[in-house]
C-alpha cells in the first residue's frame, strides 16, 4: 500500500510501515531526521497523490487543552481557527483510510469525540501520553492487558513519573506543593542540555507505530474482522467464559 504519514519529521511511523514492505512516505515542513522517503513541504499539496492510507499528526499547539491557561490570550482564537481548519482538511482528505492523531483538545468538541484514546504503555513503552485517534475505515488498535487465548499481554505496569516537581512560591502557589511530572509535561534534557520540549513530545512512540503497521498494514484491514472483534463474539456467546478482558479501545 501507499502510505502517507503527514506532519512527521522523525520517520518513526514511516519506517514501521516500510519495514513491512509498504511504499511509505513522511511529509513535513522540516527535513526528515532519519533516511527514507520524505517530502519536505506542505502536505496539503500531496493529498491527491493516490494514497491508500494516511496517518496524520496536525500541529496541536493551538488545539490542545494543555494550553488552557492562555486559551483566551490575544491572537490565540485566530490561530486556533487556522489550526482547526488544517486539522479538518486532513480529516476530509480524499484517501480511503485515515487516522488523525492529536492530544485531548478543541477537536474533541468542535469536531467529534475520538474513536480511540490510548497511551504508549498500552503497547509496551512505559510512558504516559494520552493520545486521541480519529479513524476513517480503520479499526481501533488492539492491545492486551494480560495474556489470553487471543494474544499476549502488551501493556506494561502504569508508568512512574519521570520526576517529582516541588513548586516554588509564586503568585499562584505558596510553595512546597508537589506535582508528578510525566512525559507530556516534564522538562526535556538531552546530553545534559534542555531542548525544545514541544519538538520532543511530537515524536511518535515506536511501539504505537509498530502496532499501526502490523494491524493496519494489511490490504483487507476493513473487510476482515480484527482479533478484537473475534474475541468479542466469543465472549458475547459465553459470558461465563474465563477469557480475560482485553483493553477497551476507548479507555483512557
Domain count within the chain: 2
The pLDDT, as a whole number, for residue 170 is 75
Residue 55 lies in a domain: yes
Residue 190 has pLDDT above 70, yes or no: no
247, part of any domain: no
Query: Is residue 246 in some structural domain?
Result: no
From residue 113, give the alpha-carbon distance in Å to each of 14, 108, 145. Answer: 26, 5, 24
Asked if 170 and 220 sit in the same domain, the reply is no
Q: Is the pLDDT of residue 218 over 90?
A: no
Instruction: Dump pLDDT digits (tens) for 37-80.
Output: 999 999 999 999 999 999 999 999 889 887 677 777 888 899 99
Residues 206 and 188 in one domain: no
What is the mean pLDDT of the segment spanning 221-230?
45
112 and 187 share one domain:
no
- Residue 252 in any domain: the answer is no
In a domain, 124, yes or no: yes
CATH number, domain of 226, equals: 3.40.50
Same domain membership, residue 174 and residue 151: no
Please check whether residue 245 lies inside any domain of the structure.
Answer: no
> What's the CA dihedral at 181, 184, 187, 189 to 10 degrees?
120
Residue of 126, 125, 105 whose CA lies nearest to 117: 105
Its domain, for residue 169, covers 161-195
Q: Which residues does residue 40 pair with via DSSP β-bridges, in sequence order?
A: 28
At residue 185, the pLDDT reads: 56
Mean pLDDT on 221-227: 47
- Residue 205 and residue 169: Cα distance in Å, rounded? 35
Mean pLDDT confidence for 183-208: 63
Amino acid at each position: 500500500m501507499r502510505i502517507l504519514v503527514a506532519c512527521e519529521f522523525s520517520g518513526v511511523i514511516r519506517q514501521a510501515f516500510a519495514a513491512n514492505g509498504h511504499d511509505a512516505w513522511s511529509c513535513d515542513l522540516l527535513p526528515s531526521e532519519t533516511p527514507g522517503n520524505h517530502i519536505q513541504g506542505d502536505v496539503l499539496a500531496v493529498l491527491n497523490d493516490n494514497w491508500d492510507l494516511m496517518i496524520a499528526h496536525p500541529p496541536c499547539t493551538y488545539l490542545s487543552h494543555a494550553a488552557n491557561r492562555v486559551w483566551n490570550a490575544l491572537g490565540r482564537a485566530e490561530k486556533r481557527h487556522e489550526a482547526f481548519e488544517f486539522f479538518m482538511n486532513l480529516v476530509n482528505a480524499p484517501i480511503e483510510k485515515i487516522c488523525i492523531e492529536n492530544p485531548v483538545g478543541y477537536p474533541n468538541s468542535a469536531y467529534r469525540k475520538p474513536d480511540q484514546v490510548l497511551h504508549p504503555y498500552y503497547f509496551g513503552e512505559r510512558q504516559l501520553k494520552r493520545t486521541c485517534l480519529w479513524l476513517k475505515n480503520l479499526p481501533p488498535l488492539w492491545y492486551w492487558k494480560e495474556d489470553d487465548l487471543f494474544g499476549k499481554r502488551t501493556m506494561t505496569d502504569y508508568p512512574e513519573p519521570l520526576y517529582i516537581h516541588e513548586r516554588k512560591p509564586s503568585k499562584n502557589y505558596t510553595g512546597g506543593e508537589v506535582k508528578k511530572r510525566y512525559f507530556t509535561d516534564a522538562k526535556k534534557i538531552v546530553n545534559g542540555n534542555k531542548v525544545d520540549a514541544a519538538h520532543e513530545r511530537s515524536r511518535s512512540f515506536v511501539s504505537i507505530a509498530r502496532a499501526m503497521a502490523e494491524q493496519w498494514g494489511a490490504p483487507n484491514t476493513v473487510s476482515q474482522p480484527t482479533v478484537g472483534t473475534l474475541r468479542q463474539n466469543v465472549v458475547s456467546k459465553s459470558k461465563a467464559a474465563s477469557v480475560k478482558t482485553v483493553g477497551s479501545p476507548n479507555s483512557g
